Amino acid sequence: MSKVRILPEILSNKIAAGEVVERPASVIKELIENSLDAGSTVINIEVEKGGKSLIRISDNGSGMSTDDALLAIERYATSKIYNDEDLFSINTLGFRGEALPSIASVSRFTLTTRPHDSDIATEIYIEGGKVKNVTETGAPPGTMISIAQLFFNTPARRKFLKTINTEMGHISDIIASIALGWPKVQFRLTHNQKIVKSWPSTNGSFNRAVDVLGTDLRSSLQQIEFADNYLKIDGWLSSPDMNRSTSNKIYIYINGRYIKDRKLLHALLQGFGSRLMKGRFPIGVLFIEIPYDQLDVNVHPTKHEVRFADHQRVYDAVKSSVSDSLKLSDKNSFLAIAPKHDNNEKTALHSGIKSSWGYVPNKQSQSINEGSNHFEPSNLTAKTKISIDPPLPQNRFPSIDEKEEQSLTSDDQKDLWDKKFFAELTILGQLQNTYILCDSGDGLIIIDQHAAHERIVFEKLKKKNTKVESQALLIPETVELGYKEATALIEITEELSEAGLDIEPFGGNTFTIRSVPSILSDGSISNLIVEIAEALVESGHTKTLDDILEECLILMACHSSIRAKQSLQPTQMRHLLTQLDECETPSFCPHGRPTWVKWSKQSLEKSFRR
Ligand code: ADP
Ligand code: MG
């Protein structure tokens, strides 16, 4: 007998299931995509035990006749493409004809379906890929698919399923990612008979974006619009000051399909330019529409990746549509603070010693840092926010010899620190409602008011052994989180309460904020809670509780701090400087960015060729 054999159909379906059916969330994704392809306007998703014991999706779409239903469960059976050409011009979410048979091969699968022009529904029951029963039944028009005991016959796969909470997290993420792309369709998710999410049908993408991404975004979303004869882009992105530490709240759709494409993400971020700090990401949704034949979606079974016929054109359009829209909203343009040097001359702004506890103005080293190259005035064009990376140590203090630097301990350096350094500066004024300009006698000091205040608040919150003063909210605020975020937040409510932040679960994924540290007087508390919860999910179990709490304090400091673009009175500026002197690490904000930069007299003279 020959050694090479054709695999039995059930086995090949199981192999295909390995690619498309990884966990309950991936089953749900495939089934919702089918419902959308069938033109449904209402899709209900019911889940029990995180989808491990039951997943049921019902829709009001086209439904299927008995013959079609029997074909649909065969491998490579699809109503969506007929020939080669169709494969390169796909206008549906599905096309591979493998989801239903794959899912049916690893579960107890019931398909109930009724076309709108028929009074009778068909019910097909399949167990582990074997059709056990086909009957006529009564049911509303549309399709309902129930998957009981996913992976009951593939214990190795079942073992890989995570806790109910983790699976529910994936499920709610995937439904959110689809719902954002289909605002006109009503979605409802229930878990163990309780409604988890319910998004009504809405006409505009804005309302759905706010529903899914959070109501606190309502005033921050900016419209993105672009169209030429090749493609169309529209969507909503948060303004740069509303940002996150991960990119996973940026949703990109191509012809209605949620995709993950690093190059597109990169183009989008390039559109933000220097408005966003490195490592920070906006929140929002971008819809790209492109002729179907200019796109290959058959790159991966999960259909999350795509290839463009002309990728450069798409990336350029994304970048410019984002940047044009932001330009419109940037009312104030930033003055170039120095003339452009065409001889590539480099000027140092910092002149100081870095220590383990911060960045110390170097009183000994007054000489100009010739070699320092972290800052180029010619780069400071309109709207640049001086978000420079702190320079490498060797660039910072070329005038101090290595030995001397190493011999300084951080305590020595603390002694070096003149506690009145900031207080003694002469305040010249405020630039762009963002920076405080000061004369230090030997140069110009520019202080980033937000970064500096962030440092001050952070150190106050962090002070050990002093109970953080908290203030009860007159009207408790509520905040609604995603499933994963809510689960993560519950775990640390006790610790947060010690830091002055009292929050209580309020049923579902909603929390009530009862009191906040007094220092967080104003600003959006609910947005802070969202950020804390997202940071918790992001760090998972990789961090210690101390690290996690420190991260929370950083977020709190960031939220309570005076913003860039806020006009300050001279007394407020003076107060800020005095408080900065009291900080342990005054020269860096808690994220590690410099709070101030210096343009020495010598370097100014050099800039003017004096
Ligand atoms: P594909 O979506 O790639 O065509 P599937 O295995 O997911 O493959 O589905 C097979 C076929 O079953 C589809 O092409 C469609 O005709 C039909 N079908 C599946 N789900 C539904 C549904 N919810 N409503 C109507 N028809 C459906
Ligand atoms: Mg499909």
Average pLDDT, the chain: 80
Instruction: Give the tokens for residue 301.
Output: 């079974």
Higher-pLDDT residue of 92 and 47 is 47
For residue 360, give the nearest of 321, 416, 399, 298 by alpha carbon.
Answer: 416
Report whether residue 99 contacts ligand 1, using a CB cutoff of 6 Å: yes
| 276 close to 270: Cβ distance less than 8 angstroms | no
Residue-level pLDDT at 118:
96
By CB neighbour count within 10 A (0-12 exposed, 13-18 middle, 19+ buried), where does 473 fall? middle
Residue-level pLDDT at 487:
87
Q: Which of 55-69, 282-296, 532-546 has the lowest mean pLDDT?
A: 532-546
Residue 545 above 60 pLDDT? yes
Residue 450 above 50 pLDDT? yes
Tell the residue nearest (CA) to atom 16 of ligand 1: 79
Taking the centre of ligand 2 as the mean of its atom positions, its distance from the CA of residue 155, in whole angstroms, is 25
- 166-170, 517-521, 587-591, range with greatest mean pLDDT: 166-170
Q: How confident is the model at residue 131 (pLDDT cuts 50, 70, 90)?
A: very high
Residue 195 has what DSSP assignment?
E
Dihedral sign, CA of 295, 299, 300, 304? negative
Report whether residue 72 contacts ligand 1, using a CB cutoff of 6 Å: yes
- Beta strand 443-448 with 596-600: parallel, antiparallel or unpaired? antiparallel
Distance CA 25, CA 466 (A): 46
Name the phi and psi angles at 129, rounded to 5: 90, -10
Residue 162 above 80 pLDDT? yes
Q: Write the CB contacts of 311 (distance below 8 Å, at least 6 apart in sequence).
A: 263
Residue 401 above 80 pLDDT? no
Taking the centre of ligand 2 as the mean of its atom positions, its distance from the CA of residue 134, in whole angstroms, is 21
- 171-180, 213-222, 558-567, range with greatest mean pLDDT: 171-180
Report whether residue 43 contacts ligand 1, using a CB cutoff of 6 Å: no
Q: How confident is the model at residue 541 (pLDDT cuts 50, 70, 90)?
A: low
Tell the residue nearest (CA) to atom 14 of ligand 1: 78
For residue 16, give the nearest of 82, 71, 93, 96 by alpha carbon.
Answer: 96
Report whether residue 32 contacts ligand 1, using a CB cutoff of 6 Å: no
Q: How confident is the model at residue 466 (pLDDT cuts 50, 70, 90)?
A: low
Taking the centre of ligand 2 as the mean of its atom positions, its distance from the CA of residue 298, in whole angstroms, is 13
Taking the centre of ligand 2 as the mean of its atom positions, its distance from the CA of residue 94, in whole angstroms, is 4
Q: Tokens 């002070």 appear where?
A: 463
Higher-pLDDT residue of 588 and 429 is 429
Question: Of all atoms in ligand 1, which is nearest to the CA of residue 102?
Answer: 6
Using a cut of 0.75, tell me whether the model's pTM lies above it: no
Q: Which ligand is nearest to the CA of 77?
A: 1
Query: What Cα–Cα distance (Å) separates residue 22 from each residue in 93, 94, 147, 422, 560?
Result: 18, 17, 14, 58, 42
Residue-level pLDDT at 90:
76
Taking the centre of ligand 2 as the mean of its atom positions, its distance from the CA of residue 79, in whole angstroms, is 10
Tell the residue nearest (CA) to atom 17 of ligand 1: 72
